[in-house]
C-alpha cells in the first residue's frame, strides 16, 4: 500500500471532524449572524429602492445601477416587510 493511500482515510476523518466542529461552532449562533446580516441588507435595499417607494433620495440617480443587485431577493423582502404584493409599480414580482 502506498503512503498516499494510507493517509487518505486519515485525511477524510480529519475533514469530517473539521466539518462537524465548524457546524457545531456555527449552528447555535447562525440565527444571530444571519439576522444581523439580513438587517443590514434590508436597510441597504430600502436606501436603493427609496425613490421607487416614494422617499426622496438625493443619491437616487446613482442608486439606479445598484438596482439589479437588490432585485434578486425582492419578493422575499416585501413579504418579510408585511406587504403581500410588490409595493413598486415598475417591478411586479407576484
Partner 1 sequence: MTSWMLALFAFAAFFVGYRFYSKFLAERVFRLDPDYITPAHRFNDGIDFVPTNRFVLWGHHFTSVAGAAPIVGPAIAMIWGWGPALAWVLVGTVFIAGIHDFGTLWASSRNRGESMGAIARKVISPRAFSLFLLIIFFLMLMVNAVFAVIIGTLFTNFPASVIPYWMQIPIAVTIGWLVYRRGVGVLWPALIGLFLMLALVGVGAAVPVSLPEQIAGAPSVAWWTAIMLAYGAIASRLPVWLLLQPRDFMNAHLLFIGLIMIYLGVFVGRPEIVAPIFNTAVPPDTPPMLPLLFVTIACGAISGFHGLVSSGTTSKQLNHETDARFIGYLGSTGEGLLAVAAILATAAGFATFEAWNVHYESWAHASSSGIAAFVSGAGNFMGHLGLPVALGTTFVSMMVVCFAATSLDTSMRLQRFVLAELGRQYKLPALSNINFSTTLVFILCVALAFFADPERPGQGGMILWPLFGTTNQLTAAMSLLILSLIFWYTKRPYLLTLIPFLFVATVTTWAMFINVGNYLAQGNLLLTVVGGLLLALNIWLLLEGVAAVRHRREPSDVLEAN
Using CB under 8 A, list all residues that contact partner 1. Answer: 17-18, 20-25, 27-36, 38
Q: How far is the CB of 13 from partner 1 (least distance, A)?
A: 12
Q: How far is CA 86 from the centre of its chain?
A: 19
80 C-beta neighbours (distance < 10 Å), count:
11
Q: What's the CA angle centered on 59, arms 55 and 65, to 5 degrees?
A: 105
CB of 15 to partner 1, least distance (A): 10
- Cβ proximity to partner 1: between 20 and 62 the closer is 20
Q: How far is the CB of 90 from partner 1 (least distance, A)?
A: 27
Residue among 1 and 94 whose Cβ is closer to partner 1: 94
**Is the separation of the CB atoms in 63 and 51 below 8 Å?**
yes
Amino acid at each position: 500500500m502506498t503512503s498516499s493511500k494510507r493517509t487518505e482515510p486519515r485525511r477524510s476523518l480529519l475533514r469530517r471532524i473539521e466539518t462537524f466542529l465548524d457546524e457545531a461552532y456555527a449552528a447555535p449562533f447562525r440565527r444571530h449572524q444571519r439576522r444581523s446580516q439580513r438587517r443590514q441588507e434590508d436597510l441597504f435595499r430600502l436606501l436603493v429602492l427609496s425613490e421607487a417607494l416614494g422617499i426622496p433620495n438625493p443619491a437616487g440617480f446613482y442608486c439606479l445601477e445598484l438596482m439589479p443587485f437588490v432585485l434578486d431577493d425582492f419578493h422575499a423582502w416585501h413579504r418579510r416587510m408585511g406587504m403581500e404584493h410588490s409595493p413598486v409599480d415598475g417591478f411586479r414580482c407576484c
